[in-house]
């Protein structure tokens, strides 16, 4: 709102001045945050990624599985205006990786958890803002043969401990690909997959229980507790996406104390380009 002069407006017998109205309008600040496993930032950039970004128009975009080194991420996103770009890459080239695009410059940027066992795959990227920490995560997959299931259990515990340490300073909003469907409602075919498939093993479910029972709220389920057929990942096989035979394995979790600042949660399943679709939340809080 641009004010040329301080106009007096009378409403219901009370005089208001435009400067005061401007203050009231500006008092509440809104922020849209999108999370998306893009399954390769260089691959998705060759599709409709930039058009989708313009259409979604988030304040912050969190990306997982960039499959690129930090200089490669910067090169792909170099021509995007109005966003600061931060990334964390794996030691192994073309593998894992996370990135965040933010219109608001954060107070600080932190990569990894500070645990040598976990800090070589670029899976954690944390930006500190005035009111909260934003953590972007790409949780390890247990693998088709469940060879990393034991490692996955130690990761889940260490990541939970990491989030709780951040929470001692200010609320935490964490988003990304958690590689687990939490409940039966979160995948199309729970019975054939339970305790047989990576992403729906009891050990992985227990890890998600630790988050939701330990002070973090699954925002989508908070707003849509009974919504079925709401998925964020589909296999490329057998036309799974067209048939909506999917899994909800991408999440926004938030510190319970910060939940009143969250006004909505969505799954943007119309956006293509990856085997995952974007998910989003809207924040509304008092501006400083």
282 class by beta-carbon count within 10 Å (0-12 exposed, 13-18 middle, 19+ buried) = middle
Catalytic residue among 52, 112, 177, 250: 177
Q: Residue 195 — left, alpha, or beta (φ > 0 → left; ψ -120 to 50 → alpha)? A: left
CA distance 162 to 185: 28
The tokens of 175 are what?
């988003």
Catalytic, 138? Answer yes
Strand 60-64 vs strand 84-88: parallel, antiparallel, or unpaired?
unpaired
CA dist 5 and 14 (Å) reads 19
DSSP code for 265: E
Report how far residue 79's alpha carbon sits from residue 76's, in angstroms, rounded to the nearest whole number: 8
Question: Of 52, 86, 112, 138, which is the active-site residue?
Answer: 138
Return the H-helix or E-strand segment holding 74.
Answer: helix 70-76
Nearest to 76 by CA among 111, 54, 47, 105: 47
Cβ atoms of 1 and 24 closer than 8 Å: no
| Token pair 């227990």: residue | 206
Which two three-digit tokens encode residue 112? 């990894």
Grouping H, G, I as helix, E, B as strand and the rest as coil, residue 263 is strand
The token pair at 24 is 């009231």
> Helix 149-167 vs helix 202-213: angle between axes, to the nearest 10 degrees?
10
CA distance 238 to 244: 11
Query: Which residues are marked as active site?
Result: 138, 177
């Amino acid at each position: 709102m641009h004010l040329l002069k301080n106009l007096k407006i009378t409403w219901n017998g009370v005089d208001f001045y435009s400067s005061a109205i401007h203050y009231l309008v500006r008092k509440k600040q809104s922020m849209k945050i999108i999370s998306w496993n893009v399954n390769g930032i260089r691959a998705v950039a060759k599709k409709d990624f930039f058009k989708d970004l313009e259409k979604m128009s988030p304040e912050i975009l969190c990306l997982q599985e960039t499959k690129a080194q930090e200089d490669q991420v910067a090169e792909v996103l170099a021509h995007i205006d109005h966003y600061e770009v931060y990334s964390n890459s794996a030691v192994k080239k073309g593998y894992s990786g996370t990135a965040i695009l933010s219109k608001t410059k954060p107070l600080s940027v932190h990569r990894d958890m500070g645990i040598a066992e976990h800090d070589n795959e670029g899976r954690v990227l944390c930006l500190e803002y005035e009111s909260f920490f934003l953590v972007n995560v790409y949780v390890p997959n247990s693998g088709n043969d469940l060879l990393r299931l034991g490692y996955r259990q130690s990761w889940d515990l260490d990541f939970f401990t990491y989030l709780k340490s951040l929470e001692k300073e200010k609320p935490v909003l964490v988003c990304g690909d958690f590689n687990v469907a939490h409940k039966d409602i979160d995948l199309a075919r729970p019975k054939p997959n339970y305790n047989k498939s990576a992403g729906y093993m009891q050990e992985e479910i227990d890890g998600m229980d630790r988050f939701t029972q330990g002070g973090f709220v699954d925002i989508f389920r908070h707003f849509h507790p009974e919504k079925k057929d709401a998925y964020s990942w589909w296999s490329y096989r057998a036309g799974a996406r067209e048939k909506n035979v999917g899994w909800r394995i991408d999440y926004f979790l938030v510190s319970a104390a910060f939940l009143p600042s969250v006004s909505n949660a969505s799954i943007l399943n119309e956006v293509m380009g990856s085997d995952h679709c974007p998910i989003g939340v809207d924040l509304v809080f008092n501006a400083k």
